[in-house]
Amino acid sequence: MPVSLFDALHEEARRRGMTINDIVGEQLAALVGVPYSPQEALSLSA
């Protein structure tokens, strides 16, 4: 990911009180029509 895109996403997430993962998740959910809920996220640890 280009640094400028990461920086813009980070700033938008900060402004909304969200994480970058939440911002990306919401946008992907809108793209494919599947609701996004951070509470349903899978843990990355085993």
| Segment 1-46, tens digit of pLDDT | 899 999 999 999 999 999 998 999 999 999 999 988 866 666 666 5
For residue 35, what are the contacts with CB-CB under 8 A and spacing of at least 6?
A: 29
Q: Find how far residue 31's CA is from the centre of its chain.
A: 13
Q: What is the pTM of this model?
A: 0.64
36 in helix, strand or coil? coil
Q: Is 19 exposed, middle or buried (0-12, 13-18, 19+ CB in 10 A)?
A: middle
For residue 20, what are the contacts with CB-CB under 8 A and spacing of at least 6?
A: 6, 9, 10, 13
* pLDDT of res. 4: 97
